[in-house]
Amino acid sequence: MGVPGVRESLDLAGHLRLKAWVARAAAEAVTGALRAPGSPGGVLRFRDGLVTVAESAGAPGAQALLIRTGRVSDEDWARDGGADHATSTAHIGAAHREVLQWMANQDALFAVLVGSIDACVLEPGPSVPGAGRGQDAGALLDAAFRKLDALALLPRAILPYRERLIAPSADDGDRTARSWSAGMRPPALRTAILDYADGRRTARDIAFVAGRSLYPVTVEMSRMLAEGLLHEPPPRIERVDTSPVRVLPRNPPLPSPGSAPALDALPGLPQRGTAAAGATEDPASQKTAASWRDFLRLGRTGESRN
């Protein structure tokens, strides 16, 4: 594909840094936030050394997943009680909610690991809200690393923030018929990817717009790329103006006398206007006119004398 593979693109130093700080927060039973700024970066919220919520701008959280799939409305989430009210309205039990948060936390950590980690900052603070009793930080991080290893083993693995793949156009025939047997419905995740893969969206973009977790979208797009169901868009070619350019000669020839236009037809020539009444003429012209009058007067005088 002309770009580094998944393993060559990983921030290994950042991984070691994050591992050390997560182990420290768990060992010290920290209550507060461990921030990992980077691209996209993320934050882990601890309560007594257990992770209650992991968030990243690179992956949809539990709230986004519930709202995007229509299981919870924005109004229900914004009401008093927040997540508690929303999940009760959607008839999501405590166990189901805890599993959903566990999956969202793993996805957020996966999003952090496939990006860059600039630093780790531990901010102790008051108790942070979260579903259930919290999750073991080490186990959560190990699960995210296993996902990363599984992605790197794929033959055409992509990164969720890098490749922008495109689905075949309608001119290529039925794009779904080549990936599953006749009579079988395509998997919902593949259908969503084919709907949104337009050559401008990354796996992260599709995960958000489709309301899906980042890791499954990234893995499925990698598999579809290997199967030929997705491909890289053609390189953009800048449009160049190919119209002929007329080059004028440096010293254009003067027109012949017969072809020269009349002076009155030339545009932009200044026109001498009639002098206004009482205007004074040019002194040079007055002197010339007086000289001719004197010459003519002398001529007539000489004729009369003869």
Q: pLDDT tens digit string along 16-63?
A: 999 999 999 999 999 999 999 999 999 999 999 999 999 999 999 887
Residue with tokens 């919520």: 53
pLDDT (0 to 100) of residue 70: 59
Domains delineated in the chain: 1-153 (no CATH), 154-177+186-235 (1.10.10)
pLDDT (0 to 100) of residue 177: 44
pTM attached to this predicted model: 0.69
Share of the chain above pLDDT 90, in %: 47
Any idea which of 90-94, 145-149, 174-178, 231-235 has the lowest mean pLDDT? 174-178
Q: How confident is the model at residue 66 (pLDDT cuts 50, 70, 90)?
A: confident
Task: Kindly report the average pLDDT of the chain as a whole number.
Answer: 77
pLDDT (0 to 100) of residue 206: 96
Using CB atoms within 10 A of its CB, is residue 50 exposed (0-12), middle (13-18) or buried (19+)? Answer: buried
pLDDT (0 to 100) of residue 7: 85
Mean pLDDT of 202-226: 95
pLDDT at 100 over 50: yes
CA distance linking residue 154 with residue 22, whole number of Å? 28
pLDDT digits (tens, 9 = 90+) for 195-212: 999 999 999 999 999 989
Asked whether the beta carbons of 18 and 141 are under 8 A apart, the reply is yes
pLDDT (0 to 100) of residue 275: 52
CA distances (Å), origin 29, targets 24, 49, 121, 130 = 8, 4, 16, 16
Mean pLDDT of 129-158: 89
Q: How confident is the model at residue 131 (pLDDT cuts 50, 70, 90)?
A: low
Nearest to 132 by CA among 39, 62, 70: 62
pLDDT (0 to 100) of residue 73: 58
pLDDT at 121 over 60: yes
Angle (CA) 206-209-236 rounded to 5° is: 50
3-state DSSP call for residue 43? strand
